[in-house]
Amino acid sequence: MGRDGQLAGFGRGAATGGANHALLWTPASPSGIDLHAARFTQTVASAADGTLQVGEGRPAATDNAHALLWSGTPGSAVDLHPAAGFTTSTAHGTDGAQHVGVGKTTGGHGHALLWYGTAASLVELNPPTGFTDSVAYGTAGGQQVGSGGGGTAGNAIHALLWTGTAASAVDLHPAGFTRTWALRTNGMQQFGMGQVPASPGNDRGLLWTGTAASAVDLHPTDRHFRSYVLDGSGGRQVGYGVNTATGRIRALLWSGTAASCVDLSDALPAGGLTHSVACRITGDTVYGFGWSASNPRYRQVIAWTVPTLQ
């Protein structure tokens, strides 16, 4: 979800012939904009920010995933797929200037990728040592975040931070965790989740400030058995958790500690919504979306005002 309330995704049905079509929802177009370009058999949008959207499409000639960039219309689609060295690619995140994702090399490894609007602008981010595989999920303020594995990390997954080059990679993996992922950054802090040996299948929301030692475990153990941090601004963080008692997905807000957690689902708008996710925070506004257990395919964009919730 973009910082101005945009939501990227996809849909399929009779109108699309059963194929996936990339979709964009905005406050001005709540019913959605179909971004699907005719030269692709399938398209999916993963993220939106400002006037740009990213994701992937499958060209009819090869059916291999190609990273795509849009600027709000089907005809604006730009194929970001590297000219050589990769069999597939996809874009996971954008800040409106940089775009990040992953490509599968001809040798079979996934490598984190960074673009600046064209296929020719590609920067390969896989660290020169320590990792055979990597992926980038988010970017902002000249930072890129994701995760890496293989190499000296073995079967573990380590959260990673870059500043535009492979050599700049910083391993964010803190002591006491078996696996960690960095999903988003605001250019100063990084947000994601990790797993601990005592509860290997349950993710715990994490916050970093540029180093492994800075990691803060934001997991609210009192009510949730899983949690994820997706964004932050002004000392606050947002994301979601899975409620222990009900199994419902609940939008969450933090102020830098696990004890500060506020359940935003307690202030959902009327309409029968049972699940929610908080994706972005800008000033005193939290953007996210919700849905009903009885109609899980329908997503309603939500904006919460922070001061009324703390």
Contacts of 99 (CB under 8 A, 6+ apart): 52, 54, 67, 69, 80, 91, 93, 114, 115, 116, 117, 139
Higher pLDDT, 294 or 142: 142
Specify the pTM: 0.92
For the cut 90, the answer to whether the pLDDT of residue 185 exceeds it is: yes
Higher pLDDT, 99 or 9: 99
Residue 162 pLDDT class (50, 70, 90 cuts): very high
Q: Where are the domains of the chain?
A: 221-310
For the cut 70, the answer to whether the pLDDT of residue 154 exceeds it is: yes
Mean pLDDT of 234-251: 91
Q: Which of 177, 168, 120 lies closest to 143 in space, CA to CA?
A: 168
- Across 86-95, 150-159, 196-205, the highest mean pLDDT is recorded for 86-95
pLDDT in the model for residue 198 = 81
Mean pLDDT of 127-147: 96
- Across 15-19, 119-123, 239-243, the highest mean pLDDT is recorded for 119-123
Mean pLDDT of 86-101: 97
Return d(Cα 300, Cα 25) in angstroms, integer: 10
CA-to-CA dists, residue 49 to 71, 104, 301, angstroms: 10, 25, 15
For the cut 90, the answer to whether the pLDDT of residue 64 exceeds it is: yes
pLDDT in the model for residue 247 = 87
For the cut 90, the answer to whether the pLDDT of residue 84 exceeds it is: yes
Q: What is the mean pLDDT of the chain?
A: 90
Residue 245 pLDDT class (50, 70, 90 cuts): confident
Mean pLDDT of 2-27: 78
Residues 255-275 have pLDDT tens digits of 999 999 999 988 877 778 889
Mean pLDDT of 5-33: 80
